[in-house]
Amino acid sequence: MRHRTFVVFDDYANTGGIETDTRHNATLGEYDQLALHVVGDNASVANVTVNVYVAHSSDGRQWLYRSNNQASLPGTADVSITLNSTTDVEHKMWSDACLGSMASGPLLSFVRLHVVTVGGGAHVKIHATQRGASR
C-alpha cells in the first residue's frame, strides 16, 4: 500500500547538476516501490531540458546510477522533460516496483536523485511516492 508521499526536491537546478538533500537518502530507500513525479517550470531560456537520474548506495558514500550500474552518468535519464519556453510547465513521472534484477531490481539501502539541466536553468519540483506491503 501507499506509505508516504513527500516533496524530495524543490529548487532551482542548473547545468552543473545537484543532488537531493542527504537527509532524504535513507527515507527514499525505505520502501520497496518508488514513484517520482517531476514538474519543471521557470526556465531561464527556451528549450531547457531537465534530467533526473536515480542513484543508490549501500554505504551512503559510494553511489551507483541504477539504470547503468555505474558511478558515471547514464546516457539516458530516468526522467527527462523539455521546457519549450520560459513560461512553459512540463511534468513527467517514473516509477518502479523493483521486482526484476539489476537495473529493474530492488534498491540498495540509500537512494538519491541527481538533477541536472541542459541549455539553461529551471525550477524543478519532485514528489516521491513510496509503496510496499501492508504492515
Partner 1 sequence: MRQRVLRVFDQHISAAGATALGRAAARAGLSTSFGEALTDIARADGLNGYATEKRMGDTLGVYDELGLMVAVDNVSSTSAVNFDLWLDHSSDGLNWLQRSQANQTPPFHTGVGDVRLSVSQFSPGVGWYSTSGRGRSSAATSDATGPLLHYVRLYMVIASGTAHVRVHAFQRDRATPKQR
Residue number with CB closer to partner 1 (28 or 60): 28
Residues whose CB falls within 8 Å of the CB of residue 44, separated by 6 or more in sequence, listed in order:
86, 120, 121, 122
Q: Out of 14, 27, 30, 39, point to the residue binding partner 1 (CB under 8 A).
A: 39
Examine residue 58 and tell whether it contacts partner 1 (CB under 8 A).
no
Question: Would you call 26 helix, strand, or coil by DSSP?
Answer: helix
Does position 123 interact with partner 1 (CB under 8 A)? The reply is no
Of 19, 73, 92, 118, which lies in the binding site for partner 1, with binding defined by CB under 8 A?
Answer: 92
DSSP letters, 71-133, are SSPPSS-SEEEEE-STT--EEEEEEE---SSGGGS---SEEEEEEEEESS-EEEEEEEEEE--
CB 124 to partner 1: min, Å: 13
Phi, psi of 30 (to 5 degrees): -70, -45
Query: Looking at 69, 76, 84, 109, which residue binds partner 1 (CB under 8 A)?
Result: 76
**Site of interaction with partner 1 (CB under 8 A):** 1-2, 5, 33-35, 37, 39, 76-80, 89, 91-97, 99, 104, 127-129, 131, 133-135
